[in-house]
Amino acid sequence: MASLDSHVLKKLVSLSFSTLFIMITMVNTESQRQNFQSIISFGDSIADTGNLLGLSDRNNLSLNGFPPYGETFFHHPTGRSSDGRLIIDFIAEFLGLPYVTPYFGSKNGNFQKGVNFAVGSATALEASFLEERGYHCSHNISLGVQVKVFKESLPNLCGLPSEIGGNDYNGPFFERRLINEVKELVPLVISTISSAITELISMGGKTFLVPGEFPIGCSVAYLTLYQTSNIEEYDPFGCLKWLNKFGEYHDEQLQAELKRLRKLNPHVNIIYADYYNALLRLNQEPTKYGFINKPLSACCGVGEPYNFNFSTCCGSFGVDSCNDPSMYVAWDGIHMTEAAYKFIADGLLKGPYTSPPFNWTCLTSKIKNKNSLDTQSSLMNS
């Protein structure tokens, strides 16, 4: 399959998911207690609760501003790239906090309990850097820009936690660049992540959750783009082995850098989140977790064999979603369903997909009374 034309690529990247990382920094209100009062989020569409939609021209809204996005929980589009809640929403619920308000989507909002700077399709590396190397960027709200806006807003946003994400690998892969060419970006991306963590530590960050790569070889979009008749390229579960190996390579480099940062900052809690295996288990054993036995098929979309088409995406006129998104892992071919995000969030908060694991022994009674995600899950069917 040839590389995508610029129009289709722009549409696809506007929906693109985090192939890089999400980072959450939690600032404790008391030195020895994890009494989190609010969340600040930086990132991309995995964490975006409405910024891309808020930044969109009202005559050219992002697709996540149209049904069926948001149908499961909010019952209307909110700018989240899923049928309902995202990982960041489940984390907020677990901590007894309100959902994180999008900064760009509601500049007059109340940010005392948290604010979200994450914008769909954001990259860690600067847009100008990527454009100079021939990689398409749909906007310039990079990690650096988000952190800059955060710093400028600090007088009104004191002592809050955060989340960061990017799409630096999506563009090159969607343009079918050679794997070795994309690998050259990995140390640059890791360095940018490390610099952001270091800067946020200097600003008071005490607890960081830094997820690794998703198993993009199981992504519906990538499976469609790189579809091949060579069965040797697929693992027994139908995922592309070489793309998943790339994710493993990124994660190895990221974990090595986090280990270095821990040594330099022994009083800061830097936690690696194993997004790779937290999602991979759902692709490999879907029925064990209550999903249908077609984890590599999107709930919302059109086209064979993965119910996905690059030119007619979810949110486009005439594209319907499945009857029960909770039975599907993949939502629109790019992002996951609320049900899948719940399992990922649950695996991070309660284990075993973080290293070192979270220590919730010092949580206040207010948060303990929330009784983790199990209490909240009943809302999914309300």
Query: For the segment 119-151, what is each residue's pLDDT rounded down to a tens digit?
Result: 887 877 777 777 777 666 666 688 778 878 887
What is the reported pLDDT for 213? 87
- Residues with a known catalytic role: 45, 332, 335
What is the reported pLDDT for 228? 95
Question: Percent of the chain scored above 70 by pLDDT?
Answer: 76
* Among 48-57, 135-144, 263-272, 291-300, the least confident range: 135-144
* Among 56-65, 164-173, 255-264, 284-293, the least confident range: 164-173
* pLDDT band for position 224 (cuts 50, 70, 90): very high
* Among 19-28, 153-162, 214-223, 366-375, the least confident range: 19-28
* pLDDT band for position 34 (cuts 50, 70, 90): low
Residues 62-88, mean pLDDT to the nearest whole number: 95
Hey, CA dihedral for 248, 264, 209, 191, is it positive or negative?
negative
C-alpha atoms less than 13 angstroms from C-alpha of 50 in its C-beta half-sphere = 20
Best CA proximity match to 346, nearest among 334, 356, 358: 358
* pLDDT band for position 378 (cuts 50, 70, 90): very low
Residue 220, helix vs strand vs coil: helix
Question: Percent of the chain scored above 90 by pLDDT?
Answer: 44
Q: Above 50 in pLDDT, residue 16? A: no
* pLDDT band for position 363 (cuts 50, 70, 90): low
Name which residue leads in pLDDT, 92 or 74: 74
CA 202 from centroid of its chain's CA atoms = 25
Looking at residue 58, the DSSP 8-state letter turns out to be: T
* pLDDT band for position 14 (cuts 50, 70, 90): very low
Residues 142-161, mean pLDDT to the nearest whole number: 69
What is the reported pLDDT for 159? 43
Name which residue leads in pLDDT, 339 or 97: 339
Q: Above 70 in pLDDT, residue 158? A: no
Name which residue leads in pLDDT, 42 or 274: 274
Q: Above 70 in pLDDT, residue 372? A: no
Q: What is the pTM of this model?
A: 0.83
What is the reported pLDDT for 25? 46
* pLDDT band for position 155 (cuts 50, 70, 90): low
Q: Above 50 in pLDDT, residue 371? A: no
Residues 158-162, mean pLDDT to the nearest whole number: 43
Residues 279-285, mean pLDDT to the nearest whole number: 97
Name which residue leads in pLDDT, 178 or 23: 178
Residues 325-354, mean pLDDT to the nearest whole number: 95
Best CA proximity match to 273, nearest among 36, 13, 25: 25
352 burial type by CB count under 10 A (0-12 exposed, 13-18 middle, 19+ buried): exposed
pLDDT tens per residue across span 93-104 = 998 888 988 988
Residues 87-95, mean pLDDT to the nearest whole number: 90
The backbone torsions φ and ψ at residue 210, rounded to the nearest 5 degrees and listed phi first, read -120, 95
* pLDDT band for position 17 (cuts 50, 70, 90): very low
Best CA proximity match to 52, nearest among 116, 8, 108, 147: 116
What tokens were used for 226? 């790189």
Strand pairing category for 269-273 and 354-355: antiparallel
* pLDDT band for position 35 (cuts 50, 70, 90): low
Strand pairing category for 24-26 and 207-211: antiparallel
The residue with tokens 């989020």 is 41
Q: Above 80 in pLDDT, residue 257? A: yes
Contact between 77 and 67 under an 8 Å Cβ cutoff? The reply is yes
Beta-strand runs (E) in the chain: 24-26, 39-41, 114-116, 207-211, 269-273, 354-355
Best CA proximity match to 49, nearest among 121, 148, 145, 118: 118
What tokens were used for 15? 């929906």
Whole-number Å distance between alpha carbons of 202 and 206: 10
Q: Rounded to 10 degrees, what is the CA torsion of 194, 48, 14, 81?
A: 130
What is the reported pLDDT for 1? 43
